[in-house]
Amino acid sequence: MNPSRRAAIVGVGLTPQGKLPGSTNLSLETDAFKTALADSGLAKDDIDGLLSEPGTTDMHWALDYLRLGRALGINPKYTGSFAMGGATAGNLVQLAAMAVTSGMAEYVACCFGDAAKTGKRRPLQAAGGYLGVETANNGVWGAFGAATWSAITASRHMALYGTTDDQLGEVAVSARAFAAMNPAAMMRNPITLEDHHASKMIVEPFRLLDCCLVSDGGACVIVTTAERARDLRQPVITIAGMGQGFITQDHECEEWWYGPHQKAAMDRAYAMAGLGPQDVDVAELYDNFTISTILWLEHAGFCKVGEGGPFVQGGRIGPGGELPVNTHGGHLSAGHPQGWWTLIEAVEQLRGASGDRQAPDAEVALVGGRGLVLNTASALLLTGGGR
Amino acid sequence: MTTPEKPIPTVTDENRPFWDGCAAGELRMQRCASCSHVRYPVQPLCPKCLDDSAEWTALSGRGEVFAKVIYQRAFNPAFAADVPYNLVLVQLDEGPRMYGNVVGPADDGIRVGAAVAVCFDEVAEGVSVPRFRLATD
Ligand SMILES: [Zn+2]
């Protein structure tokens, strides 16, 4: 990317994550906005772009951006709402980067609020039933629960490559070890591989400790040009590479189960940044289930296809490991503002502000997001330390 | 407390021939009249060539287990009595992939790659759901 046309992240905000009775999608979204605004040192009236992800309990609500703008008293130059599941956070930041580098807006706030734990219930429908009748009809075979698609992926990965229960468990153990060092994480008591194996089966091959948490929470990320960022309060965190990828056809796509769109998104981000896996100091990868981390490591080129299982063994992705992954504890142990905390953690790491869990000399962070019926992917390469 | 009912398929003008086929003991899918691509899930136009004319053709119902998962928890309470139960993604010989359940053997006897053949389970008057059995021949 032409360095003069780069964008940067200048403010981040995260509400508490967990059980927050009385909160709503909107209250969490506006709380996070206020936190990010304070973090950036900007004034409300500086924000002229608003992008939103409707909460998961309101996923179809495309008018979320209007409600948000009204609540914040912002009449933006540029706005919209997008629902791409766990890829939304990263892809909204990419849209914001495009908006500020093209001159459509100067400071764009990307916002999310989700009272998924204590707020309104989702309808009882088959996994992915939100896509329409044909997917909803998978309910006749009992295809319920968000674990369905990733369990399918894990089943196939285990059958083809010999990925094991121990290797899935290692991902959970590493995530928890980081969460233990994160005061804001929901689950902080360290676990062992034995604890993983003793946790009950939910959707085989997944045990309880293979599955992410559900939480109430909000998040906000503010984006402007790298040039303007230099005049602001925080260290400049540059958006060096951006990539997206999508599979709309699910089962009509040969390798859908493996997530080729996720690899494509990673490759596109590396190409834009002129960076490769060897340059990455810390990786924040959407871990809705333990298998997701293993797949990302393959997609991002840290190991070969099928070798993600052995890669995670021996503490390689945990604290003090060769490649720190999900240093806040991930969706598995920190909390579930889907894909937003991974992104914000990457910014904190590059600012050197991650406390006990800080990765040494972190200058390049890779962020991956994935969502829906393994349909959407987002990849970001962020750089700090004056790079 | 009443036991919730298991879902039965939502039948639309578009997918009615699929479910009529199941009721008649045949797995029927759309074959594109222009390029012969067999498509599933049901949709109004061919994703390969965009032609919207198709004929409903009977498939062999044979394929192999592409992936399998076993529910040890009922996310829909209507399935509580079935736990543990399996869900498989089947790679059909003619190309499409579809979900189903393998009936018969214990869940741990189902292997990825195992040959399966379709069978039909009448779940309500005139409504049959396709499932699979392990193919021995
Ligand atoms: Zn065609």
The DSSP string of A200-251 is: PEEEETEEGGGB----EEEEEEEEEEHHHHTTSSSPPEEEEEEEEEE-SSGG
Amino acid A3: pLDDT:
54
Flag whether pLDDT at A325 surpasses 80.
yes
Flag whether pLDDT at B105 surpasses 90.
no
Percent of chain A with pLDDT strictly greater than 70: 99
- Shortest CA distance from A127: residue in chain B: B75
Average pLDDT of the residues in A154-178? 98
- Name the least confident of A6-15, A130-139, A204-213: A130-139
Amino acid B98: pLDDT:
97
**How far is Cα B102 from Cα B107, in angstroms, rounded to an integer?**
8
Q: What are phi and psi of A314, to 5 degrees?
A: 75, 20
Flag whether pLDDT at A1 surpasses 70.
no
DSSP 8-state code for residue A122 = P
- Contact present, A360 and A230 (Cβ < 8 Å): no
Looking at every residue in chain A, the average pLDDT score rounds to: 95
Q: CB-based contact (8 Å) between A199 and chain B?
A: no
**Which amino acid type is present at position B38?**
V
CA distances from A62 to A72, A117, A316 (A): 18, 21, 41
Amino acid B106: pLDDT:
75
Confidence band (pLDDT; 50, 70, 90) for A2? low
Is there a contact between B96 and A252 if contact means CB atoms under 8 Å apart?
yes
Q: Closest to B75 (Cβ–Cβ): which among A145, A251, A252?
A: A145
Confidence band (pLDDT; 50, 70, 90) for A6? very high
Q: What is the pLDDT of residues B53-97, one digit of tens each?
A: 999 999 999 999 999 999 999 999 999 999 999 999 999 999 999
Confidence band (pLDDT; 50, 70, 90) for A4? low
Q: What is the pLDDT of residues B120-136, one digit of tens each?
A: 999 999 999 999 999 98
**How far is Cα A53 from Cα A60, in angstroms, rounded to an integer?**
10
Q: Classify A103 in phi/psi space as left (phi over 0), alpha (psi -120 to 50) or beta.
A: left
Average pLDDT of the residues in B88-109? 91
**How far is Cα B121 from Cα B137, in angstroms, rounded to an integer?**
21
- Contact present, A221 and A343 (Cβ < 8 Å): yes
Under DSSP, is residue B99 helix (H, G, I), strand (E, B) or coil? strand
Q: Which residues contact A316 (CB under 8 A, 6 or more apart)?
A: A322, A323
Q: Which of A87, A106, A4 is nearest to A46 (CA)?
A: A106
Spacing, Cα A250 to ligand 1 middle (Å): 18
Cis previous bond, B84, omega within 30: yes
CA dihedral A62, A68, A70, A75 (to 10 degrees): -90
DSSP 8-state code for residue A288 = S
Flag whether pLDDT at A80 surpasses 90.
yes
- Shortest CA distance from B13: residue in chain A: A133
Average pLDDT of the residues in A71-80? 96
Amino acid B27: pLDDT:
98
Q: Which CATH class is domain B16-134?
A: mainly beta
Average pLDDT of the residues in B26-52? 96
Is there a contact between B98 and A251 if contact means CB atoms under 8 Å apart?
yes
Average pLDDT of the residues in A17-32? 95
Q: Which residue in this structure is represented by tokens 């892809």?
A: A91
Under DSSP, is residue A355 helix (H, G, I), strand (E, B) or coil? helix
Q: Which residue in this structure is represented by tokens 């925080």?
A: A234
- Contact present, B45 and B39 (Cβ < 8 Å): no
Q: Which residue in this structure is represented by tokens 């599933």?
A: B40
Is there a contact between A142 and B131 if contact means CB atoms under 8 Å apart?
no
Q: Where are the domains of chain B?
A: 16-134
Q: Which residues contact A194 (CB under 8 A, 6 or more apart)?
A: none
Is there a contact between B76 and A135 if contact means CB atoms under 8 Å apart?
no
- Name the least confident of A54-63, A194-203, A372-381: A54-63
Spacing, Cα B96 to ligand 1 middle (Å): 14
Flag whether pLDDT at A107 surpasses 80.
yes
Chain B positions with Cβ closer than 8 Å to A: 6-10, 12, 15, 39-43, 47, 66-76, 79, 82, 84-85, 87, 89, 96-101, 107, 111-113, 123, 129, 131
Q: CB-based contact (8 Å) between A202 and chain B?
A: yes
Is there a contact between A251 and B82 if contact means CB atoms under 8 Å apart?
no
Q: What is the pLDDT of residues A338-358, one digit of tens each?
A: 999 999 999 999 999 999 999
pTM for the full predicted model? 0.95
Average pLDDT of the residues in A196-212? 97
Is there a contact between B79 and A144 if contact means CB atoms under 8 Å apart?
yes
Q: CB-based contact (8 Å) between A150 and chain B?
A: no
Is there a contact between A145 and B73 if contact means CB atoms under 8 Å apart?
yes
Confidence band (pLDDT; 50, 70, 90) for A326? very high
Distance of CA A86 to the CA centre of its chain: 6
Flag whether pLDDT at B107 surpasses 80.
no
Q: Where are the domains of chain A?
A: 3-122+213-383
Under DSSP, is residue A197 helix (H, G, I), strand (E, B) or coil? helix
Q: Does CATH place domain A3-122+213-383 in 3.30.70.100?
A: no
Is there a contact between B129 and A134 if contact means CB atoms under 8 Å apart?
no
Q: Closest to B9 (Cβ–Cβ): which among A124, A137, A204?
A: A137
C-alpha count within 13 angstroms, C-beta hemisphere, residue A8: 26
Q: Which of residues 238-267 of A touch B (CB under 8 A)?
A: 249, 251-252, 257
CA distances from A211 to A169, A282, A356, B69 (A): 11, 22, 25, 15
Q: Which residue in this structure is represented by tokens 């089966």?
A: A201
Average pLDDT of the residues in A65-92? 96
Q: How far apart are the first and last CA of chain A?
A: 14
Flag whether pLDDT at B42 surpasses 60.
yes
Amino acid B73: pLDDT:
95
User: Which residue of A252, A254, A374 is the best one to mutate when testing the B interface, meaning the one whose CB has the most B CBs within 10 A?
Assistant: A252
